[in-house]
Structure 1
Amino acid sequence: MNRPGRRVGRPRAVRTGPDSGRPPREELLCAAAELFTVHGYAATTTRAVAERAGMRQATMYHYFGGKEQLLVELLESTVGPSLVAARRMLADAGRTAEERLWQLCRSDVLQLCAGPYNLGALYLLPEVRGERFARFRRMRSELKDSYRALIGATEAAACLAADPAALALRNDLVFGLIEGVILIHRSDPDRPVEVFAEATADAALRIAGARR
């Protein structure tokens, strides 16, 4: 589920509106996801987020301290589910590393394609380098490290043990493929997501030099 220079990422929100029936907090996050990715973070005001969610600005401040807190929670939500899956795969000693890597790639792609917005484009914001986003950066780094651990445990990695740079490159390529998958999927949104996820996982294993 690395980093500078790729406008890619892990969308988690769906289109919002005052009649969606969501709890107010979720409504605000969905509104922020849409506005931040469509109009830009700097150009979006807290008033615009509140109005898009169908509530007053004062009500928004009851749930969030401001625009930065909205961004923090959105970004963490893009990585959290994939990180949970990665930890589960690392702890699963009953399957080969190749099988676990394939399953992680597949589940990650299914998560990525679950929503319409490319929140990963927000990873490049200068604000994300601030202290408020330190937890998000740690989460994303742990996710990438999980991919690296699984790739390093495959049989194909044994022949590269003396070349850590080659292993690091394979990890970067696999992780880049997975995080960039939303851009590919959006070019053909009618393609069955399950088939797309499995094909992407197959491609990731080939990049890693592994076989399922």
Structure 2
Amino acid sequence: MSTTGRRVGRPRAQQRPDSGLTPREELLEAAAELFTTRGYAATTTRAVAERAGMRQATMYHYVAGKEELLAGLLESTVAPSLVLAHRLLDDPTVSAEVRLWQLCRSDVELLCGGPHNLGALYLLPEVRTEAFAGFRRVRSDLKDAYGRLLAATKECGALGEGELALRTDLVFGLIEGVILIHRSDPGRAPEVFAAATADAALRIAGIPERPAG
């Protein structure tokens, strides 16, 4: 019996160079490519397994199926930003305006910086089902963190609850909306695009220019 906590896999369908990834990570990478190029509904579990270099039966040793892969990919687009948001919220040494800008920029870089436009998967109708409640919960927590940073800025601190909620919706919508622009022009440099989007988010918040710091 294994004592490492990792299940022992079945033989590979084909020998491939060591990628440094675990089998589950290889399946996620294969799913990311196929879901964003062929489409989620058109991609079979067999295709994912073959793209990862393993048999379909072997794939089920690591994941339950397509839903688990999609959920994992979706959560990978929000979880790092939520970690950063919590760190920024706990850092009183930097102005809220600077922290908001940093979160916006980093979030856009995460959404646009990878080889696959994973943010486009948000638009799938399947994401509204119960199987993806975990992703929606993390996304909601991230949106809440945006709202708390907005409330901490001088420009938004005195806003009423309804107006603050509207500003939060608009800023968060702008950040997530980059997935559509990125899909139409994937060659844009993510870091330049991210900084410009963060600047625009601040203007929505009523902050006229990027704060120093």
What TM-score, normalized to structure 1? 0.81
C-alpha change, 1:77 and 1:200, in structure 2 (3 Å) is same
DSSP-derived class of the 2:77 partner: helix
> What's the % identity of the aligned pairs?
71
Tell me what 1:90 maps to.
89
User: In 1, distance between residues paired with 2:78 and 2:17?
Assistant: 28
How far off its partner does 1:100 sit? 0.7
User: In 2, distance between residues paired with 1:156 and 1:70?
Assistant: 41
User: In 2, distance between residues paired with 1:26 and 1:138?
Assistant: 23
| Residue identity opposite 1:205 in structure 2 | L
How far off its partner does 1:189 sit? 4.6
How far off its partner does 1:199 sit? 1.9
Consecutive unaligned residues in structure 2, runs of 5 or more: 1-15
How far off its partner does 1:95 sit? 1.3
Consecutive unaligned residues in structure 1, runs of 5 or more: 1-17
When the two chains are superposed, the root-mean-square deviation of aligned CA atoms in Å is: 2.1
What TM-score, normalized to structure 2? 0.81
User: In 1, distance between residues paired with 2:84 and 2:78?
Assistant: 10
| Residue identity opposite 2:97 in structure 1 | E
Q: How many residues align?
A: 193
What aligned pairs does 1:26-175 form with structure 2 within 5 A after superposition? Answer: 26-159=25-158, 161-162=159-160, 164-175=161-172
User: In 2, distance between residues paired with 1:20 and 1:166?
Assistant: 53
User: In 2, distance between residues paired with 1:150 and 1:121?
Assistant: 26
- Give CA-to-partner distance per residue, 1:129-154, whole Å, 9 cap, x none: 33332221110000011111111111
Tell me what 1:181 maps to.
178
| Residue identity opposite 2:116 in structure 1 | Y
Larger Rg: 2
Q: Larger relative CO (CA 8 A, sep 6+): 1 or 2?
A: 1
